[in-house]
Chain A
Amino acid sequence: MADAVALNRWYGTEVGLGAVVDTMAQLRRSVARTASRTWVMTLVAIAVSDDEAYQATQVLRALGAHHPARLLVVQPQPEAVVGAAGIDASVTIYGTEVDGHPLTFDEVSLWVKGEAARHLDSIVEPFTLSDLPVVVWYPASLPAVSEPLLAKASSVLVDTREAHDVAGLIALAGRRAVVDLSWMRLRPWREMVAALFDPPEFRPYARQITSASIAGKGGPRRLLAGWLGSRLGLSKERMELHDARHARVVLRSGSTASFEVAREEGERLVRASAVIDGEIRHHELLPLPDDSLVWSLSEALTHLGRDRVWQQALAAGVAADAWL
């Protein structure tokens, strides 16, 4: 796909939502010679700062290649002074070309001021595409369980990488589909660790893991610990957590066997190995897949359902005080 270029843009301050929706239709007509995309969802990003909004916008545009969506970036500003309508908005129609097909897609940014910022459900509703899922993404914060917008969301995307208090998230996950981007980024790691126990002769060791050593950065490391703890029945006393730049998981079965997945220093490669009775019984080198935000968001949008294993991992992480 060629880089998208802005074909037409509009910006309004203190405008009503009706005006924004009408403007969107007018801008579309002005570039009517190009075909609109086939949508599969409405994707709403809730950003709490200009920086966050900018980042989210960049990611959402890149994401369009995999998940054609109407993009809505909402910046709630409850403390801002409200003028005539309380909403500033911009609408941009982008054009691009895919295999010779001219395509357009639109992107709406809304700055919602004052009390309206506490009623984002009513703000988002006019922009949602009928009959298609509404996915709400919180790029850098976790939503309050009482947030009214969540009632409109088919799925909620969050990132627990930097999160401390996830108790509310656990409660929310019990009520609707929540997808954690941090969990998505861990998916290749989980696959590689799980693959060590795929051979039938190694399978019995999975039930006999006596200790685990998990290194990595804060949130993901603790999520990995919660996952291993909940799946293998390991108490927190049998797990060591280390702070490290690159992830590394070592599972030991007494003194007889150890299973390790570790990133190669300085390379995007992961080495997986199994040592049993002092003998290397398995050795594998795997490329580390993309772990960019675009990739993890794309993965999240591909796996929008509820994930009980993640819920259990999150809960186990909290129970083990791993989230403190």
Chain B
Amino acid sequence: MTLTESTEANPLAAGLDQGRRASPGVLVVFGASGDLTARKLMPAVASLARRRLLPSTFAVVGVARSRMSDDDFRAKLIDAVPDGGPAWAELVKGFRYVAGDYGGADTMQRLKAVLEEVDADRRTAGNRLFYLATVPSVFEPVADALGAAGLNCPARPDAYVRLVIEKPFGRDLASARQLDDALHRNFEEGQIYRIDHYLGKETVQNVLALRFANAIFEPIWDRRYVDHVQITVAEALGVEHRGGFYETAGALRDIVQNHVMQVLSLTLMEPPAMIDAQGIRDEKVKALRAVKIMSIEQVATDVVRAQYEAGWSEGMAVPGYREEEGVAPDSRTETYVAMKLEVDNWRWAGVPIFVRTGKRLPKRVTEVALQFQRVPHLPFAAHESRDLHPNALVLRIQPDEGISLRFGAKVPGQAFEVRDVLMDFSYGAAFLEEPPDAYERLLLDAMIGDPTLFIRSDEVLQSWCIVDPILSAWASKDTPLARYPSGTWGPKQADQLLSREGRRWRTP
């Protein structure tokens, strides 16, 4: 019997709030034999299935160079999710594998045939989510090959085809544009989902909740009350086994161009009319456009680059960057960046934004701190308020997610002594429920077709516009490269960046 399709609503779905359940489809993973697939993507798929957020009409098709049968691939996926149980094993039975060169026409033809079989067997309705879990150098060839094979367009009018790519989105502005052109040759912008897993973190999204669900913060969230903003993305680890990769990247490309710019734009943006893809991304781009592009002279005075030396980190003696595996002994790649950014708009004009990121810092922490101005007049005796500092609102993004507010309070006793106290909201201690993993959240968003937490082309390019002049200025071998011992908060030049203005870095 030929089954007739219907678009009418499922009467049994009423009240089940299944708006965030994926529709039928195939997740096609390029780089299916790689680390990201086993470590992040498949556990995320298994968790979505366990939470019943995936339909039964779902399948994964893996594509990679390694020779493997469907059964080998399935066995690998079962190993990747050790707690998957019989239900995961059952789901995996419908997954397929295609071996071949990523950009090869032959690979795409075989993929196309497999997808047609999967559509027939699993009723995946022609929907495809292509996930490029590969090295960036194959993004272009894969996009071109998908286009040449006609896999970039839905096979039926009601189906979707989407492409997910992981950072880095280029090495500089020119290569980012080139990548964008290659992607847009084959896909509409609305089909492209650029992942920065930072945006999948619950606490990054919580920045939006704090700012736009509360009336008390937004009115003071501007130049009239904020003295300066500090954004810290610190890592305790060194480059570990990624020395070879890191030599081609550095902290500016690896962290500042993406994670920092995303956190920065969420912190500085204007309230959107709607918390949706267009509303949020439009405002983020506007915020990034307001960040002043630095001249070469400003890079020299407002940006500090540095490299870690041997030292002690978390109780262990650790080597310097140049002693790390895969790193050149005379490497000039920065493992630390500190900079002062200026923002040219009504809200933030005159408020410096200090950013720092680095490896081998004393601890892993990501936070945004709004340092408020001092009160216009302190009516207390100097000796009674010497321990008082300006108010600070700190948004802790990881690892101890939460919000703290520093304010002055009277010390109990006869004297009127005032000192700092910290009012602390710990996100994890309030809601102890484990939030979904960032990949799980983003994968489901991509399947549903919600691009809110993905990065739009103009966001990527604008981030590069901010970072590119710094890269250009650093191209000269004469650019100073400071050193800092592992396990410290960076070089003294970074401290001077603030101290010359009478400010100082927070100690997270």
Asked whether any CB of chain B lies closer than 8 Å to the CB of A47, the reply is: no
Q: How far is the CB of B179 from chain A (nearest CB, A)?
A: 36
Q: What chain B residues lie within 8 Å of A276 (beta carbons)?
A: 1, 3
A176: B residues at CB distance < 8 A: none
Q: Which residues of A contact B50 (CB under 8 A)?
A: 287
B11 touches A99 (CB 8 A): no
Chain B residues near A206 (CB-CB < 8 A): 10-12
Query: Could you tell me the distance between the alpha carbons of A8 and B396 in the complex, rounded to whole angstroms?
Result: 32
* B87–A203 CB distance below 8 A: no
Proximity string of chain B (1-37) to chain A, C-beta cutoff 8 Å, 1 when within and 0 when not: 1011111101111111110000010000000000000
* B495 interface residue (CB < 8 Å to A): no
| Interface: B330 (CB within 8 A) | no
Cβ 8 A contact of A195, one of B15, B56, B424: B56
B449 to chain A, nearest CB (A): 16
The answer, yes or no, to whether B140 is at the interface (CB within 8 Å) is no
| Cross-interface CB contact of A101 among B13, B52, B57, B426, cutoff 8 Å | B426
Residue A171 interfacial (CB < 8 Å): no
B429 close to chain A: CB less than 8 A: yes
Across-interface contacts of A194 in B (CB, < 8 A): 10, 12-13, 16, 18
50-108 of chain B: CB within 8 A of chain A: 50, 52, 55-57, 85-87, 90-91
In the assembled complex, the CB of A40 is this many whole angstroms from the nearest CB of chain B, namely: 7
Interface-located stretch among A81-89, A185-193, A238-246 = A185-193
The interface-forming segment of A151-159, A162-170, A305-313 is A305-313
* Chain A residues with CB under 8 A of B18: 191, 194
Q: Does A199 belong to the interface (CB within 8 Å)?
A: yes
Are B430 and A37 neighbours in the complex by a CB distance under 8 Å? yes
Q: How far is the CA of A256 from the CA of B426 in the complex (A)?
A: 57
Q: Is the Cβ of B16 less than 8 Å from the Cβ of A103?
A: no
Query: What is the distance, in angstroms, from B158's C-beta to the closest C-beta of chain A?
Result: 9
Contacts of B274 in A (CB 8 A): none
Are the CB atoms of B16 and A200 closer together than 8 Å?
no
Does A324 lie at the interface of the complex (its beta carbon under 8 Å from any beta carbon of B)? Answer: no
Q: How far is the CA of A222 from the CA of B373 in the complex (A)?
A: 64
Q: Would B52 and A286 count as touching, CB distance under 8 A? A: yes
CA distance A184 to B56 in the complex (A): 22
Interface of A, secondary structure class, is mixed
Q: Is the CB of A66 within 8 A of B432?
A: yes
Contact present for B10 and A203 (CB under 8 Å): yes
The B-contacting residues of A in range 85-112, CB under 8 angstroms, are 98-99, 101, 103
Contact A256 B1 (CB under 8 A): yes
Whether, in the assembled complex, A207 has its beta carbon less than 8 Å from a beta carbon of chain B, the answer is: yes
Residues on A with beta carbons closer than 8 Å to the beta carbon of B4: 201, 204
A interface footprint on B268-293 (CB within 8 Å = 1, 0 otherwise): 00000000000000000000000000
- Verify B11–A232 contact, CB threshold 8 A: yes
Q: Which residue of chain B has its CB nearest to the CB of A287?
A: B87
- Chain A hits for B245, CB < 8 A: none
Q: Do A285 and B6 form a contact, CB below 8 Å, given A35-B424, A38-B430, A66-B432?
A: no
A288 to chain B, nearest CB (A): 9
Is A132 close to B, CB under 8 A? no
Q: Is A198 an interface residue (CB 8 A)?
A: yes
Among A1, A64, A198, A232, contact of B57 (Cβ-Cβ < 8 Å): A198
Q: Nearest Cβ in chain B — how far from A107, in angstroms?
A: 17
**Is B400 interfacial (CB 8 A cutoff)?**
yes
Cα(A37)–Cα(B428), bound, Å: 11
- Tell whether B125 is near chain A: CB-to-CB under 8 Å: yes
**CB-nearest residue of chain A relative to B13?**
A194
User: Is there a chain A Cβ closer than 8 Å to B123's Cβ?
Assistant: yes
The answer to whether A198 touches B55, judged by C-beta atoms less than 8 angstroms apart, is yes
| Contact, CB under 8 Å: A193 / B85 | no
Distance between A266 CB and nearest chain B CB, rounded to angstroms:
12
Which of B1, B4, B12 has the most CB atoms of chain A within a 10 A radius of its CB? B12
Residue with the greatest number of chain A CB neighbours at <10 A, chosen from B4, B8, B15, B431: B15
Contact A287 B85 (CB under 8 A): yes
- A35 CB contacts on chain B under 8 angstroms: 424, 429
Smallest beta-carbon distance A285→chain B, Å = 4
B residues less than 8 Å from A40 (CB atoms): 430
Tell me which residues across on chain A come within 8 A of B55, comparing CB atoms. Answer: 195, 198-199
B217 interface residue per 8 A CB criterion: no
Chain B interfacial residues counted at CB < 8 A: 39
CA distance A283 to B76 in the complex (A): 23
How long is the Cα–Cα vector from A191 to B52 in the complex, in angstroms? 8
Q: How far is the CA of A35 from the CA of B5 in the complex (A)?
A: 58
Which residues on the A side are within 8 Å of B428 (C-beta)?
Answer: 98-99, 101
Q: Which residue of B lies closest to A228 (CB)?
A: B12
- Tell me if A284 is interfacial: C-beta within 8 Å of chain B: yes
| A285 CA to B56 CA, complexed, in Å | 9
Q: Does B416 count as interface, using CB distance less than 8 angstroms?
A: no
A297-323 to B contact mask, C-beta < 8 Å, 1/0: 000000100011110000000000000
Contact, CB under 8 Å: A284 / B6: no
Residues in A with CB closer than 8 Å to B501 are none
Tell me, yes or no, whether B425 is within 8 Å of chain A by CB.
yes
Please indicate the chain A residues that have their CB under 8 angstroms from the CB of B57 in the complex.
Answer: 198-199
- Give, as a whole number of angstroms, the nearest-CB distance from A13 to chain B: 34
A207→B86 contact, CB < 8 A: no
Give the interface centre of A99, A282, A310 by most chain B CB atoms within 10 Å: A99
What are the residues of chain B within 8 A of A287 when measuring CB–CB? 50, 85-87
Instruction: Check B433 for interface membership: any CB of A closer than 8 A.
Output: yes
Q: Tell me the nearest residue of chain A to B4, going by C-beta.
A: A204
**Which B434-484 residues have a C-beta within 8 angstroms of A?**
none
In the complex, chain A residues whose CB is within 8 Å of the CB of B11: 197, 206-207, 231-232
Considering only residues 21-38 of chain A, those with a C-beta below 8 Å from chain B are 35, 37-38
Quick check: A66 and B433 within 8 Å, CB to CB? yes
Check if A195 sits within 8 Å of B1, measured CB to CB: no
Q: A38-B425, A192-B52, A277-B1 are in contact. Are A197 and B12 (CB under 8 A)?
A: yes
Q: How many Å from the CB of A214 to the closest CB on chain B? A: 13
A15 → B minimal CB distance (Å) = 30
Q: Cβ of A5 < 8 Å from any Cβ of B?
A: no
Whether B426 and A38, one on each chain, are in contact in the complex, defined by CB atoms closer than 8 angstroms, is: yes
Q: Is the CB of B56 within 8 A of A99?
A: no
Interface string of A261-285 (1 = CB under 8 A from B): 0000001010010001100011011
Asked whether B56 lies within 8 Å of A190 as measured between CB atoms, the reply is no
Q: In the complex, what's the smallest C-beta–C-beta distance from A171 to chain B, in angstroms?
A: 20
A307 touches B426 (CB 8 A): no
* B1 touching A203, Cβ below 8 Å: no
B10 contact set on A, CB distance < 8 A: 194, 197-198, 203, 206
Instruction: Report whether A68 and B430 are in contact in the complex, using a CB–CB cutoff of 8 Å.
Output: yes
Q: A198-B10, A203-B10 are in contact. List 16 more A-B contacts (CB 8 A).
A: A35-B429, A38-B429, A66-B431, A98-B426, A99-B429, A101-B428, A103-B429, A195-B55, A197-B11, A200-B5, A200-B6, A204-B8, A256-B1, A276-B3, A309-B14, A310-B15
List 29 A-B pairs, Cβ < 8 Å.
A1-B432, A38-B430, A65-B432, A68-B431, A98-B428, A98-B429, A101-B428, A101-B429, A103-B429, A191-B16, A192-B52, A194-B12, A194-B18, A195-B56, A197-B12, A198-B10, A199-B125, A200-B6, A201-B3, A203-B8, A206-B10, A207-B11, A232-B11, A286-B52, A287-B85, A287-B86, A308-B15, A309-B15, A310-B15
Question: Which are the 7 A-B pairs with shortest beta-carbon distances?
Answer: A309-B15, A201-B3, A194-B12, A38-B430, A200-B5, A203-B6, A285-B90
